[in-house]
Amino acid sequence: MNINIYLEDSLAKSISQSAKQLGVSRNALIREAIKEWLQNHEVRKWPMTVLKFRGLDNAPRLESYRDDLLPPKENPLA
């Protein structure tokens, strides 16, 4: 697939210089940069089974254990 994008001159020059130094084409450099960006900025979602989960009818509520908790030994915010 071909995509046209417009870059400011300074960015285009930097891409050309980097591509030349690395011995790759500008297209290859841009393709790799986009692939890397997408991998590092992937939107992670919970699986549908987790999103649809509404709990277990016979499971005790978390709040029911609140009175059994011990106070912290130290104030973690102090």
Instruction: Write the pLDDT tens digit of every residue in 2-51.
Output: 999 999 999 999 999 999 999 999 999 999 999 999 999 988 889 999 99
Q: Are residues 15 and 30 in contact, defined by beta-carbon separation less than 8 angstroms? A: yes
Contacts of 26 (CB under 8 A, 6+ apart): 15, 16, 19
- C-alpha 69/C-alpha 63 separation (Å) is 10
pTM: 0.55
Q: What angle do CA 48, 54, 56 make, to 5 degrees?
A: 125
- C-alpha 2/C-alpha 27 separation (Å) is 10
Question: Is the model's pLDDT at 76 over the cut of 80?
Answer: no
pLDDT of residue 75: 81
The count of residues in the chain is 78
